Amino acid sequence: MYVLFEVDNIPRAYVPAGFDMVALPSPFTSHLTICIEGFFFTGDNTRECRVTVYDVAGRAVRHFKESMPAGSTSLSLIWHGDDDRGRSVPCGIYFITVSDQQYRATEKVIKIE
């Protein structure tokens, strides 16, 4: 069973039923915790997960690349509101996209002062 995810103009992606991505708190000031559950299948191989933060203009400002060991079904990471060079990004709306080899989903978050 699959669930359809769509956020604003972000392309549609099919993800496994039971998938849950939460980015808290939103709005946030200094850091944001991204929790992903049920996105990865159990199996014999390590799976790669990409988390990308986009600004409202669609520019990728931060990239995370995580490896999920076989049997893992959850991931948590912290974004400190910075870009790939470690500079603080301005306040505004951001889209966090989580993807692996097969699936993709997006969550909207807001950074405030």
What would the pLDDT profile of 13-22 be if each residue is shown by its tens digit? 444 555 678 8
Could you tell me which CATH number the domain at 2-111 has?
A: 2.60.40.1930
Q: Do 99 and 49 contact (CB within 8 A), yes or no?
A: yes
- pTM exceeding 0.75: yes
Q: Which of 55-59, 62-66, 87-91 has the lowest mean pLDDT?
A: 62-66
Rg (CA), the chain: 14
**Which residues is 4 bridged to in the sheet?**
14
In this prediction, residues 85-89 reach a mean pLDDT of: 97
Which residue, among 56, 54, 15, 55, has the nearest Cα to 36 in the 3D structure? 15
For 2-11, letters b (16+ CB in 10 Å) and e give: eeebeeeebe
Q: What is the biggest distance separating any 2 CA atoms in the chain, rounded to whole angstroms?
A: 44
At residue 87, the pLDDT reads 97
pLDDT score recorded for residue 84: 97
Q: Which is more confidently placed, 62 or 98?
A: 62
Residue at token pair 């948590």: 76
Give yes or no for residue 46 having a pLDDT over 90: no
pLDDT, residue 10, reads 38
Q: What is the reported pLDDT for 43?
A: 54
